[in-house]
């Protein structure tokens, strides 16, 4: 038997004020759209803001549905919208924030598995890393230079 070790690295920011101005703006956009999420069942609201290489910011919030799993996560709403209206643009950065209606989220909330796979698809397609920033409602913000830190064994078209 052989073992392998995989190391990932994240930057940790103690508050939004520690972020650069452009990332502060992106995270504030994610916070604003998070508050508009449609989450009557989980009471868990997520907002995502994408910065594209054309300078545009594309937003998404989670959209639930009584017929699970027909809803969609904030990250995929934003990514698919960006892909539809700016098909040639690259995603440079994603800011994600999550909050519960029932308790305060203090720990950074990363993208779920389905969202990680969707981000991976675009990172591979555009052949450049996507910086990912994520936080709860309050507290520290984690920054990853690439999705590969969150999903080191990515499934992509080379396996098909």
Could you list the active site residues? 75
Binding site annotation covers 142?
no
Residue 17, CA atoms < 13 Å, CB-side half-sphere: 0
Binding site annotation covers 25?
no
Give dist(CA 103, CA 125) in Å, integer: 38
Binding site annotation covers 66?
yes
Give dist(CA 31, CA 8) in Å, integer: 26
Binding site annotation covers 115?
yes
Binding site annotation covers 103?
no
Binding site annotation covers 127?
no
> Cα separations (Å) of 15 from 62, 135, 138?
24, 10, 8
Strands (E) in the chain, as ranges, are 11-13, 44-52, 57-61, 91-100, 131-135, 141-144
Binding site annotation covers 62?
yes
Give dist(CA 101, CA 112) in Å, integer: 19
3-state SS, residue 85: helix
Known binding residues for Zn(2+) are: 73, 112, 115
Known binding residues for substrate are: 62-68
Known binding residues are: 62-68, 73, 112, 115
């Amino acid at each position: 038997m052989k073992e392998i070790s995989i190391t990932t690295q994240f930057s940790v920011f103690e508050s939004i004020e520690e972020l650069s101005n452009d990332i502060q703006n992106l995270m504030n956009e994610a916070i604003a759209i998070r508050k508009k999420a449609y989450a009557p069942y989980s009471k868990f609201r997520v907002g995502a803001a994408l910065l594209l290489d054309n300078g545009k910011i594309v937003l998404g919030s989670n959209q639930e549905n009584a017929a699970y799993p027909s809803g969609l996560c904030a990250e995929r709403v934003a990514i698919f919208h960006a892909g539809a209206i700016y098909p040639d643009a690259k995603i440079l950065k994603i800011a994600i924030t999550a909050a519960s209606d029932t308790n305060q989220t203090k720990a950074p909330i990363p993208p779920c598995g389905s969202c990680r796979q969707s981000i991976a698809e675009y990172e591979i397609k555009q052949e450049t890393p996507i910086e990912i920033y994520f936080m709860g409602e309050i507290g520290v913000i984690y920054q990853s230079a690439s999705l590969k830190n969150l999903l080191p064994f990515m499934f992509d078209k080379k396996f098909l």
